[in-house]
A = this chain, B = another copy of it.
Amino acid sequence: MTRPLTLNPDRLFPAEPATRAVAQRLYAQVEDLPIISPHGHTDPEWFASDAPFANATELLLAPDHYLYRMLYSQGVALEDLGVPSRKGPSGADPRAAWRILAANMHLFRGTPSSMWLDHVFAEVFGFDVRLSAETADLYFDRIGEALATPAFRPRALFERFNIELLATTEAPTDPLKHHKAMRASGWKGRVVTAYRPDPVLDPEHEDFTAEIERFGEISGEDVQSWAGYLAAHRVRRQAFMEMGATSTDHGHPTAQTADLSEAEAEDLFRKVLGGTFTPAEAELFRAQMLTEMAKMSLDDGLVMQIHPGSFRNHNRGLHGAFGRDKGADIPTRTDYVRALKPLLDRFGNDRRLSIIVFTLDESVYARELAPLAGHYPVLKLGPAWWFHDSPEGMRRFREQTTETAGFYNTVGFNDDTRAFLSIPARHDVARRVDASFLAKLVAEHRLDEDDAAETIVDLAYNLPKRAYKLDEPAAERTPELV
């Protein structure tokens, strides 16, 4: 028995009628605004080559760890889902993998994945029956057919999705050839890169040594010396800015920063490069490098993003067999108050610098992050992130940060995704949740509706553009005027 698939126009809005009516009005202000996606992980090759996507499994299932981690938790083998391992591509039949997803859709009840998928199914592919064991083949076939048509090529979808700007994330050692190719192609779509130096900055990264070598090659600097290593960063940051970058991104285990003397930093760099460092020294090097990155941002204007608190590759066996980024990253308790102090002591009041801080530890929203961002001129709060990029997670973010930091120390929504087709769904969820949050404030007479209507446009559009400096050449940026 198939069941109908419909996207209710009031989804995610509060049930109470008066509040819902406000939410509807507020959402109408932003429903059709272009998408600003300043932080994500889509593959720039898609837009450079504009080659068609292969099939439902390769497009929607195998790259989406939200989906396969849940299936894995219930005993499904990753091999059966088309997920590639260290040995290479999965040998799974894509259709068989898709059927497993279809038969287990109940696992996603109440999760954002089910809302995102339904949005993609209904809006992007036009399905009007739900995905289930019965409709698995229908879905697989119809998606496959669609993907073979020009309208479903990456650039066509980008335009259909009304994306004004999309940032991808690359390592300093990436030659950015896809970004160059995109520009060379004359395509108007605005896809920019972001500078993610973790692999050349985290001594505990599994590719650190090899990446450092590549870093020297691509920058033309002597990265075996501290001065040369820093120069290499400057060179590559400049190259990234030429490909549109306005931000850097730092995915550290903690938010620790440091402010060592020149001599101490140089010593530490030598140790780290020698490979004879302790975990504490690796941590200290990462900490120092955040401060070094801040110094460079004072010069070149790149906005810093700090994404700490994930215990990467927690599942030892799975990491051994499948490698990184396979859904086995687990958040940990994260301190910000002491961790950020060395950097803030140095630059916390310098209005030329802008740092966007994220967390996977919601207990710090009201306790640490909102008070910090509600005071320091350099700090802004990134949106609810990763596991918390969900209706309840976004609601908690607003409820726990707004009263101390306000709306204007936040930076709008990040989709943070490699699931390209879900980008409109994710932004739509964020806009609906913000509309609902604001509607509650209006319905409880805590905010006037005219103010709410202005605020929601800022949240959806103006704040991300301003926070990520998307309207101005980074070199000419000015402190925000009041």
Which A residues are closer than 8 A to B by beta carbons? 3, 8, 10-16, 18-19, 69-76, 100, 103-104, 106-112, 114-115, 311, 314-318, 327-333, 335, 337-338, 341, 344-345, 348-349, 351, 360-363, 366-368, 370-377, 379, 387-388, 390-393, 399-400, 402-409, 440-441, 443-448, 450-452, 454-455, 479-482
Contacts and interface: CB of A to CB of B under 8 A. Distances in A.
A12 B451 contact: no
Given A10-B445, A328-B375, 12 more contacts: A69-B375, A73-B379, A75-B480, A106-B408, A110-B447, A311-B337, A318-B349, A329-B371, A330-B337, A332-B338, A333-B335, A361-B367
A329 to B, nearest CB: 8
B16 A455 contact: no
Contacts of A402: 110-111, 392
20 contacts: A10-B445, A15-B19, A15-B440, A76-B482, A110-B441, A114-B447, A311-B338, A314-B341, A315-B349, A315-B376, A316-B345, A317-B345, A329-B371, A330-B371, A362-B367, A371-B387, A390-B403, A391-B403, A391-B446, A392-B402
A232 to B, nearest CB: 31
Contact of A393 (B329, B348, B366, B376): B366
A402 to B, nearest CB: 4
Given A315-B348, A333-B367, A335-B333, A393 B403 contact: yes
A362 B399 CA distance: 13
A423 B3 CA distance: 38
B107 A331 contact: no
Nearest to A458: B106
A330 B400 CA distance: 15
A446 B330 contact: no
Given A75-B482, A446-B11, A406 B70 contact: yes
A64 to B, nearest CB: 14
Contacts of A400: 392
Nearest to A409: B73
A20 to B, nearest CB: 9
Contacts of A114: 447
